[in-house]
Amino acid sequence: MKKKCLFIASLVFMLSSQAQIRLPNVLSNGMVLQQNSTVKLWGWAGPAEKISIQPSWTKDTLKTVADGNGKWMVKVNTPKGGGPYEIIFLGNDTITLNDVWLGEVWVCSGQSNMEFTYNWRKTKDVAADFPTCNQYQLHFFQIPKTTAFTPQENCDGSWKNCDSNTVKNFSAVAYFFGKMLSQNLHVPIGLISSNWGGTPAETWTPDSIVKNNPRLEAAQQKLKVSQWWPVGAGLAYNAMIAPLSNFNISGTIWYQGESNVDTYSTYGELFKDMITSWRKAWNEEFPFYFVQIAPFQYGNNENAAYLRQAQADALVLPRTGMVVTSDLVSDTTDIHPHDKHDVGYRLAEIALNETYGQKQFDQFSPMYVSSHREGNKAVIALSNADKGFIVKGGAIKDLYIAGKDGIYYPADVKLAPGKITVYNKKIAEPAFVKYGFNNTQMGNLFNKENMPVAPFKIEVK
């Protein structure tokens, strides 16, 4: 019996010593690694297997040993953007990754308006770029729709260069975002698309966050189960976000919220917790820029307006930014506005200004800052309006004022750089003001840079 056990142990040792190196799918041919950074390279091998790694942008050879679980990881410094490079992994076998680029990497996530591709609607703005899109140094990694009950270490997917074929099945918002970054940063851009139409934010959030918060768990239980997408807490996060957490990124863009309209009351808390949990997984407070949901006929209520306000509440977190879409909709009966061009460009405008310090990009929507009373008037300060405002189409639409009784009346307004003064002769002491605060809001107040004022509902302080 003793000899048999020794034989089995020896056989296990021999097999493990011949184990092949394995890499996660995100580390593969055609990938983009974050430039000017210390990036992680990781994978699996036989326990105690010695591994040497040689990136072609450095003369240094990295060495490591797989642990008892067969896992290994090294860190390597990357220079400024460029390529193509190769990386050789040498252990009991050899893997060579080719066509490796250094540049800027962004995760692009959310539900259907982020998932939206040219092939959905044959949108003209994407088609117009077919002859030139291969010039922008864009590289796509598409994660298939997958769920898991526990955080995964790997996900399916492969890197593809952007061309007139691959762009047709890739997120249009992400494409236009990446295009504008490429045109202004002049480095390769890696775009990781991890999205799933119909999904609520709960499924993109670690389940422990939802299950340990009674308010969030109760709201999650109200979500309608679908055969087309998951609603359970953490299911998409575990399979489609967690496997990326070792992969260095510059930041995230996000377009989601439509599936949480009926649970808007907890979305503000949930959304902030989701952002924080992603940053914790990466151990990095990376930029997180998101899109406010577009006007749509959700029903005879103001639920979508409250959801937009909950989205805006996330701006209290550092390194966040929000794109307003109230002027980018031609049909409020279509939950998928076709203009993804301007959405992607507005996200890129924020990133170029805030993340990359290119301050010439300053086309941002005015947003509520503060308010106070002056007699029977409410004076409201708005950001990004130092040059003043313009009104499109006559009088301002969807602007209302109320007293303490909460009865709203159409408001008169005086415009000045950085502020609007709101009043109605029936209101002696203004208490509340709202602008564009309904499900289908398409306000007509813009700053001089032609950016729409974000909707708001406030109590006058």
- Confidence band (pLDDT; 50, 70, 90) for 13? very low
Residue 298 lies in a domain: no
Last residue within a domain, chosen from 76, 101, 126: 101
Q: What is the mean pLDDT of residues 173-188?
A: 98
Does the structure show a pLDDT above 90 at 369? yes
> Tell me: the pLDDT tens digits for 34-54?
999 999 999 999 999 999 999
pTM (two decimals)? 0.95
- Confidence band (pLDDT; 50, 70, 90) for 123? confident
Residue 11 lies in a domain: yes
> Tell me: the pLDDT tens digits for 73-83?
999 999 999 99
Average pLDDT across the chain, whole number: 95
> Tell me: the pLDDT tens digits for 244-278?
999 999 999 999 999 999 999 999 999 999 999 99
Q: What is the mean pLDDT of residues 108-134?
A: 95
Max CA distance (Å), the chain: 99
Q: What is the mean pLDDT of residues 179-188?
A: 98
Tell me the chain's radius of gyration from C-alpha atoms. Answer: 25
26 three-class SS? coil
Residues 6+ positions from 135 with CB-CB distance below 8 Å: none
Residue 400 lies in a domain: yes
422: β partners = 378, 413
Q: What is the mean pLDDT of residues 131-152?
A: 98
Last residue within a domain, chosen from 66, 101, 136: 101
Would the CA dihedral through 125, 127, 131, 136 be positive or negative? positive
Determine the Cα–Cα distance for residues 55 and 74; give it in Å rounded to an integer: 12
The pLDDT value recorded for residue 121 is 86
436 in Cβ contact with 425 (< 8 Å): no
Last residue within a domain, chosen from 101, 136, 166: 101
Residues 6+ positions from 247 with CB-CB distance below 8 Å: 26, 27, 39, 40, 105, 192
Does the structure show a pLDDT above 60 at 393? yes
Determine the Cα–Cα distance for residues 357 and 71; give it in Å rounded to an integer: 38
Q: What is the mean pLDDT of residues 26-36?
A: 98
The pLDDT value recorded for residue 15 is 43
Total tally of structural domains belonging to the chain? 2
Does the structure show a pLDDT above 60 at 163? yes
Closest CA to 112 of 235, 293, 297: 293
Q: How large a percentage of the chain has pLDDT more than 70?
A: 96
The pLDDT value recorded for residue 221 is 96
Residue 334 lies in a domain: no
Q: What is the mean pLDDT of residues 123-132?
A: 94
Does the structure show a pLDDT above 50 at 170? yes
Residues 6+ positions from 62 with CB-CB distance below 8 Å: 41, 52, 53, 54, 55, 74, 76
CA 411 to chain centre: 36
> Tell me: the pLDDT tens digits for 414-450?
999 999 999 999 999 999 999 999 999 888 999 999 9
Residue 112 lies in a domain: no
Determine the Cα–Cα distance for residues 11 and 13; give it in Å rounded to an integer: 5
Residue 17 lies in a domain: yes
Residue 377 lies in a domain: yes
Exposure letters 235-260 (e unless 16+ CB within 10 A, then b): bbbbbbbbbbbbbbbbbbbbbbbbbb
Residue 64 lies in a domain: yes
Task: List the domain range (segments joined by +) for residue 55.
Answer: 2-101
> Tell me: the pLDDT tens digits for 309-336?
999 999 999 999 999 999 999 999 999 9
Phi-psi region of 48 (alpha: psi -120 to 50; beta: other; left: phi over 0): left
- Confidence band (pLDDT; 50, 70, 90) for 18? low
Does the structure show a pLDDT above 70 at 10? no
CATH number at residue 45: 2.60.40.10
Amino acid at 213: N
The pLDDT value recorded for residue 447 is 98
Q: How large a percentage of the chain has pLDDT more than 90?
A: 93
The pLDDT value recorded for residue 9 is 47
Does the structure show a pLDDT above 60 at 2? no
365 in Cβ contact with 324 (< 8 Å): yes
Q: What is the mean pLDDT of residues 154-175?
A: 98
Determine the Cα–Cα distance for residues 354 and 376; give it in Å rounded to an integer: 38
